[in-house]
C-alpha cells in the first residue's frame, strides 16, 4: 500500500509567475518578448502571459489588460503563501515614463508582488538591491517631474514676454486683426504672412462688416 504524501508543516508553496508583454502597434507581435522571457529561465504557461497592443504613451493602469491583471489575477503574499511574481522584458513595459514606472512598481510591491525586469542587473526589485535601485529611480523621477514643471513655466513666461496671448484667440480678435490688415492695404496673401492665419480664415473675415 502506497502511503499518502502529506507536506511537512511549513512546506514551501511556489509562487506563481506572470509575464506582461506590450507592443504599440497591431503590426508588431509580443512573441519575441515571450520567447526572451522564457529563454531567461522563466517557464511561464500561456495562461499567465498577458499581452496587449497599446501605445507606450498610455499610463500603465489605464491599459486594459495590465489593469485587469493587477486587479483580478496577481495575488500578493500572505501568511500561507508567497506573492506572485511579474516578469517584464524591459522596464518601459511598466509605464509611460520614469514617473509612471516608479509609481507602478511601488504599487505592485505594496500589494506583495515581486517585480522582475530582465534589462536590469537586479533580478528582483523587491530585494534589498532592488529597493536601492528604486531609490535611484525615484530621484530620477523627481528630477524629471521638476524639469517638466520648469519647462512649462519657462515656455509660458517666454510666450508672455513675446506678447503672445495664451490660448486660442477669440473670433472677434481675429476679425479685428484681419480688418486692420485690410485697412493697411495688404492683400489677402500678405495678410496670411503678416497675421499667421490661414487663407480660409482671412477670406472668412475679409468682407465682414464690423458692428457699429
- Does pLDDT of 178 surpass 60? yes
What CA–CA distance (Å, rounded) separates 115 from 18? 10
15, 24, 146, 189: the active-site residue: 24
Note if 198 is an active site residue.
no
Closest alpha carbon to 82 in 55, 111, 59, 105: 111
Residue 49: strand, helix, or coil = strand
Question: 113 — phi, psi (to 5°)?
Answer: -100, 130
| Residue 212: pLDDT over 50 | no
Give strand pairing partners of 19: 49, 87
Rounded Cα distance between 65 and 71, Å, is 10
pLDDT digits (tens, 9 = 90+) for 24-42: 888 789 999 999 999 999 9
Cβ within 8 Å of residue 77, ≥6 positions away:
15, 83, 112
DSSP 212: -
Residue corresponding to grid cell 512573441 = 31
What is the per-residue pLDDT across 99-124, written as a single tens digit (0 to 9) for each? 888 889 989 999 999 999 998 888 78
Tell how strand 49-53 and strand 17-23 pair up. parallel
Amino acid at each position: 500500500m502506497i502511503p499518502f504524501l502529506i507536506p511537512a508543516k511549513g512546506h514551501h508553496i511556489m509562487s506563481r509567475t506572470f509575464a506582461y508583454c506590450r507592443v504599440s502597434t497591431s503590426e508588431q507581435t509580443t512573441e519575441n518578448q515571450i520567447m526572451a522571457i522564457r529563454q531567461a529561465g522563466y517557464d511561464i504557461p500561456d495562461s499567465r502571459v498577458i499581452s496587449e497592443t497599446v501605445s507606450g504613451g498610455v499610463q500603465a493602469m489605464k491599459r486594459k489588460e495590465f489593469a485587469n491583471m493587477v486587479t483580478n489575477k496577481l495575488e500578493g503574499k500572505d501568511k500561507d503563501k508567497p506573492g506572485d511574481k511579474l516578469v517584464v522584458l524591459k522596464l518601459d513595459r511598466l509605464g509611460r515614463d520614469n514617473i509612471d514606472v516608479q509609481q507602478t512598481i511601488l504599487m505592485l510591491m505594496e500589494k506583495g508582488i515581486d517585480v522582475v525586469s530582465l534589462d536590469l542587473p537586479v533580478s528582483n526589485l523587491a530585494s534589498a538591491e532592488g529597493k536601492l535601485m528604486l531609490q535611484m529611480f525615484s530621484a530620477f523621477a523627481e528630477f524629471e517631474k521638476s524639469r517638466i514643471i520648469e519647462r512649462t513655466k519657462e515656455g509660458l513666461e517666454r510666450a508672455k514676454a513675446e506678447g503672445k496671448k495664451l490660448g486660442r484667440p477669440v473670433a472677434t480678435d481675429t476679425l479685428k486683426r484681419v480688418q486692420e490688415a485690410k485697412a493697411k492695404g495688404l492683400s489677402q496673401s500678405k495678410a496670411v504672412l503678416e497675421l499667421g492665419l490661414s487663407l480660409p480664415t482671412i477670406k472668412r473675415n475679409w468682407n465682414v462688416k464690423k458692428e457699429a
